[in-house]
Structure 1
């Protein structure tokens, strides 16, 4: 359970209690060195700084979809952050002076707790369904929703920025 901070707003209905409408399936799990929220890095930059690697374990029915993934140097991983609250629509981050709408944050607490991670592909074993990656910022056992190749030519925007932030 999470503790709501002053100035935070909850949704009227918790999305976790609503009937599913997307029929999303998990295609595997992340084998991460992180077993507690306290130890888990806040983002991929911090995860890389630890020097700890991770793996994605793909379930057997989806392994053929890994064919040719090794052409990519980096991959985009979409994960399901199921431990996060889903009914928090306005959040007050510890580092922020004022509350912010969930869609202006990278927080895992959101109506659909989908995580977005870009990792370096270190090794791929299609038969075993194992993708070795350079780092990850989620807990061990986190479900994987999807994997896509990262294309620097179309996915990177060097001029991208967040107003009022040091993040670029």
Structure 2
């Protein structure tokens, strides 16, 4: 694949609200895509890490992560500094307002002003792994999120 190949990504919305009460504000033309999302308890949110989208960050391949972890390749971390600054969060759905295009969520690890690239319904049968392996530096982290 040529290095110069590019893809056009169009945000479907933006994160709004406050850090304690985050919401996804979906653009009018994508609001019909929310139909049925309210039947799910959780969703996956893909978002653009816009603060680290400049070329100087996108060439980074290794970082020194926090939590006393060793130097690691960015693909082995959740660092915002990466070749394609795309974030992924599983969040709890609090409410969905189809008419206003508002999805209120909890557990989203971003902040107001962040572009939302996509939302996917969370399916436990395909989106979780029963016996996952992690490195020793992350082994003491909880197995499940609080919600």
How far 1:31 sits from its partner (Å)? 1.3
Q: Residues 5-44 of structure 1 correspond to what in structure 2 (within 5 A)? A: 21-34=6-19
Quote the residue 1:94 is aligned against: 66
Count of matched residue positions in the alignment of Structure 1 and Structure 2: 134
- In angstroms, what is the RMSD of aligned CA positions? 1.7
1: distance between equivalents of 2:69 and 2:121? Answer: 37
How far 1:53 sits from its partner (Å)? 2.7
How far 1:66 sits from its partner (Å)? 0.7
Residues 32 and 138 in structure 1, CA contact (< 8 A), matched pair in contact too: no
Q: Which runs of 5+ in 2 are unaligned?
A: none
Query: Within the alignment, does 1:54 sit opposite 2:26 as a pair?
Result: no
Secondary structure of the structure 2 residue equivalent to 1:148: strand
1: distance between equivalents of 2:36 and 2:29? Answer: 17
Query: Within the alignment, does 1:157 sit opposite 2:129 as a pair?
Result: yes
Residues 30 and 55 in structure 1, CA contact (< 8 A), matched pair in contact too: yes
How far 1:94 sits from its partner (Å)? 3.4
Task: State the TM-score, normalized to the length of structure 1.
Answer: 0.73
Q: Which runs of 5+ in 1 are unaligned?
A: 1-17, 35-51
Query: Within the alignment, does 1:105 sit opposite 2:90 as a pair?
Result: no
Residues 90 and 102 in structure 1, CA contact (< 8 A), matched pair in contact too: yes
